[in-house]
A and B are shown apart, each in its own frame.
Chain A
Amino acid sequence: MSESIKPHAHDEALGLWRTYVFSTDHKTIAKQYLAIGLFWAIVGGLLAYVMRWQLAYPDTAVPGFGWVPEPSMVGGIVPPEFYNMVVTMHGTIMVFFVAMPILLGAFGNFLIPLMIGARDMAFPRLNMLSVWTLALSSLVLLISFFVPGGAAASGWTAYPPLSAKAIYTGVEWGQNLWIIALALEFASFLMGGINFLTTTINMRAPGLSLFRLPLMIWMQFTAAVLFMLSVGPLIAGAVMLLLDRLAGTSFFLPEGGGQPLLWQHLFWFFGHPEVYVIMLPGMGASLEILPVFSRKPIFGYRPIVYSTIAAGLLSFLVWAHHMFPSGMDPRLAMPFSITTILISVPFAIIVFAMIATLWRGSIRFPTPMLFALGTLTVFIVGGLTGIFNGSAPADIYIHDTYFVVAHFHYTLFSAIFFGGFAAIYYWYPKMFGRMMHETLGKIHFWMTFVFFNAVFFPMFFLGAGGMMRRIANPLQYDFLKPLQPLNIFITIGAILLFLGQLPFVVNFLWSLWAGEKAASNPWAANTLEWTTPSPPPHSNFEVIPVVHRGPYEYSSPEAPEDWFPQDRPVQARPATAG
C-alpha cells in the first residue's frame, strides 16, 4: 500500500524490465492487458473467418489456411471436429481473452486510479501478478491448440458429458488445458477485482463522493462485484469437470450417478452475470463519451447508477433462461422468464438516459463519439431481441439457433468492439500521449458499423428459418438449403468486417510514433484523468486533486467555458483547454 501512496521520483532507476515488463504501474499493466486482448482479438477474428468460410462454402479449402497441418485441416478444408474446435475457441477467446482483458483489464486498470485521483491501484504488486497470471493463462490456452487431439471442441459452454469424457470429442489434453486456462483466467480477474474494489472504496481523492464518481467507475466497480460473486460456483464446477476427466469421478456423468444439468446451472449462474461483466464497462465508455461530445451533463446520473445496481442484482436470478429446453422442471420456466424480461427495465432506463443526454446538446462527431453512438444503437437491437430469448415459449423455437447467435453478438459486440474502440479512440491520447488519425478512425467506424450489421442482422433471419448454431454444414439439411444465399452474404460481410479493422491496426501502430502530440485535455473533458499530462507520469498526479463537483458539468452557467473540470475551485481563474 505504502508503495502506491508516495510518488516515485525515480522512474529511470527502475530499468527496462521493471518499467516495461514486470511493472507495477497500473498504466503499464493496462497496456499489457490491452496487448493481450488485441492479440487474442486477431486470433478470435481469424477463427470467425474460418467458420464463416466453411458455412458459406462447405468443405472447400479456406483461402490462406492451406498451411495448417493434418489432421487439423486437410489442405485447407475444415473437418467437422476442427469446426467444433474453431467454434469453441472463438467463443472462449472472445469472452475471456478479448472482452475481459480489454474492457476490465486495460480500461479498468488505466482509468480507476486516474479517474478517482489516486497514484496507483491499492495493491500494485497484486496487480502485476494479475496480468502475469493472465499471460500464463493465455500461454496455456495457446499451447492447447498444439497438443495431440487439438484444442477444446465442446463449445465455449463445455456441456458435459460431451466435455467430461475424451471419447466423446476425441479431445484429450485440449479440454484439460482449456479448463486450466480458464481457472487461471478466473484467478487473474479475481485478483484484479480485489484491486478494483479496494482502490475505488479507499483511494478516492478528497471530495470525490460516490455520486461524483464517473459512471465508468461505477460500471467497472459493479462488473468486478458481479464477477467475484458469480465465479465461485463455476470454479467449483470446473474443478469437478477436471476431476471427471482426470480422476474418473462422475459429478456430471449419469452412469456414475452424476447429473449433466448440474453443470448447466453452475455455468449459467456465472454465465449471465458474466455478460454484464463485459457489457457494463462497454456501456460505461459510451456514458463517459456521450456527455463530452454533446457538451451536456449526463441525463439522470442517479437513475443510471441505481439501474446498474438493479440489473446486477437481477442478473443472479435469470440464469435458467439458458435452460428452457434443457429438461429442467417446466414450472421453473415462468419465474425465470419473468425475471429475465424484467431486466429490460433497468437497461431501458440506461438507454433512455443516453438518448436524453443527446437532447438539446451541441453534438460533435469525432471517432470516439461515433463508436459511442454505435455502442448505443447496436446495444438497443441486442437488448430488444433478448426479449425473444427471455420468453420461454418463444425460446422453444429460437433456442440454439442463429437467432441467439445474432442476439448475443448484438449485445457483446456492442460492448467489446464498439465500446472497446470508443474507449481506445477516446483514451488513446492519455495512454500514449498521441492523437489517433481522425480520418482513418472514421473509415474504421463506418466499415465496422456497416459490415457488422450486414453480418449479424441477417443472422436473425437464419435463426427464424431454424438454422441451428454450431453446425458445420447447413447444406446437410434440406430445410436450410434455401437459406444458403444468406450464409454467403454474411460471409462476404464478415470478410469485409475483418478487412475493415485494418485501418484501425494501421492507425493504432502509426499513431504510436507519428501521431500528433496530445495535449493534456484534448477533448475538453471534466474528469480527473485529463488533469494529468498525456501520458501521465509514474504515480499520475503531482498533487492529489481535490474534487469540487460531479463529472459531467458541461455547459454549466457557473463556468466560463462549456466545461467545468471536477478539480477546479469555483473562484479560480479558468485554464485554457489543453
Chain B
Amino acid sequence: MLSWLPENVSTYGGDIDSILYLIYYITGAWFFLTLGTIVLFLFLYRRREGRPATYVHGNTLDQSAWILVPVVIVLGLDLWIDFRGAEVWEAVKGHMPPADVRVQLTAKQFNWEILYPGPDGQFGTADDLQLDNELHVPVGKVARVTLKSKDVIHSFFLPNLRLKQDVVPGREIEAWFEATKPGVYEIPCAELCGFGHSGMVGHLTVHSADDYEAWLKRTWPSPQSSSARLSAISGEPEDRRP
C-alpha cells in the first residue's frame, strides 16, 4: 500500500513516512490476525451434525481474558503510536526553524499567488515580485511560506514534501519545509474551493545552489548580489508558533 507514496524530498518527510510505516505494520499484523482468526473459526466451527455449540458467555474473568489480553496489547500499541507520533509532530509542527528564504503565498480561486521579497529580503518594497503558481526555492535551505487566502479555504499540499496546510481567509498561517532534492514538484490544492478546485495546481521548483543563483540573477537582473540577500534574512531567532 505504502509503495504508492510519491518520492519524499523533504527533511521531515522521512519522519512522517516512518509513522505511516509504523501504523502500517501494526495495523497490517492485526488485519491478518483478526481476519485469519475469523476465517479459521468459520471453517472449524461450521455446523456439523451432532456437534452442538459451546454454551459460554464470556462474562467470567478467565473467559473474558480472551478479549482483555488482546485489548491490553491494542492499548500498548496505541500508546506507542501516540508517543512516536508526538515526537514527529513536535519536529514538524512544534517549532519553526530559522528561515533561509521566505515567500508569501496568497491563495485565491483558483491560483496560488506567490510573492517574493526580492534581493533586499523585505516584503513591501519595490523589488517585490509576484509569480503565479511558481514557487522557487534552493535545495537544502529552510523555506518559510506565509499562507493567506483572498476568498475561501484552500489547502497548500506538497505531496513530495509531505506538507499539507490549510489556507484560511482572515488568517496568516506559517508553514516551512526544507527540500532535499532538486526538481519540479506539483502543488495541488487539497481543499474543495469551488468549480476550479480540480486543476488548481502550482509548481515548486527546487534548485541546486548554482541553479538558484542563476534563477535569482535572471529574475532580478540587478547589480545587487543575491548571496547578500540570502545572508540578510537568515539567522533570525527561532520562534515558536503560538
Contacts and interface: CB of A to CB of B under 8 A. Distances in A.
Interface of A: 79-81, 83-84, 87, 153-155, 159, 161-162, 168-170, 254-255, 258-261, 294-303, 325-327, 329-330, 333-334, 337-338, 341-342, 344-345, 348-349, 351-353, 355-356, 358-365, 373, 376-377, 380-381, 384-385, 387-388, 391-394, 396-401, 460-462, 464-466, 468, 470-473, 476-479, 483, 554-557, 562
A417 to B, nearest CB: 19
A197 B25 CA distance: 42
A352 B73 CA distance: 12
Nearest to B15: A393
Q: Is the interface of B mostly helix, strand, loop or mixed?
A: mixed
Given A303-B64, A337-B82, A400-B164, A358 B42 contact: yes
Contact of B37 (A355, A363, A483): A355
Given A161-B151, A327-B166, 18 more contacts: A153-B195, A296-B56, A297-B55, A299-B58, A300-B57, A303-B67, A352-B67, A358-B38, A360-B45, A380-B34, A387-B23, A387-B27, A388-B23, A393-B15, A397-B20, A400-B157, A472-B198, A479-B6
B192 A162 contact: yes
B41 to A, nearest CB: 4
A44 B74 CA distance: 36
B221 interface: no
Q: Is the interface of A mostly helix, strand, loop or mixed?
A: helix
Contact of A295 (B52, B70, B170, B192): B52
A301 B57 CA distance: 7
Contacts of A327: 165-168, 171, 173
Nearest to A390: B81
A294 B89 contact: no
Interface string B134-166: 000000000000000001110101011011111
B89 A330 contact: yes
A257 to B, nearest CB: 9
Interface in B192-214: 192-199, 201
Nearest to A323: B166
Interface string B53-66: 11111110001101
Given A260-B153, A361-B53, A555-B55, A352 B45 contact: no
A391 B85 contact: yes
Contacts of B1: 460-461, 464
Nearest to B75: A345
B71 A348 contact: yes
A254 B169 contact: yes
B70 A555 contact: no
A300 B64 contact: yes
Nearest to B39: A377
Given A359-B41, A384-B27, A476-B198, A393 B53 contact: no
14 contacts: A80-B196, A84-B197, A168-B109, A325-B164, A352-B66, A363-B41, A385-B27, A388-B27, A391-B85, A464-B1, A468-B189, A470-B197, A470-B198, A555-B52
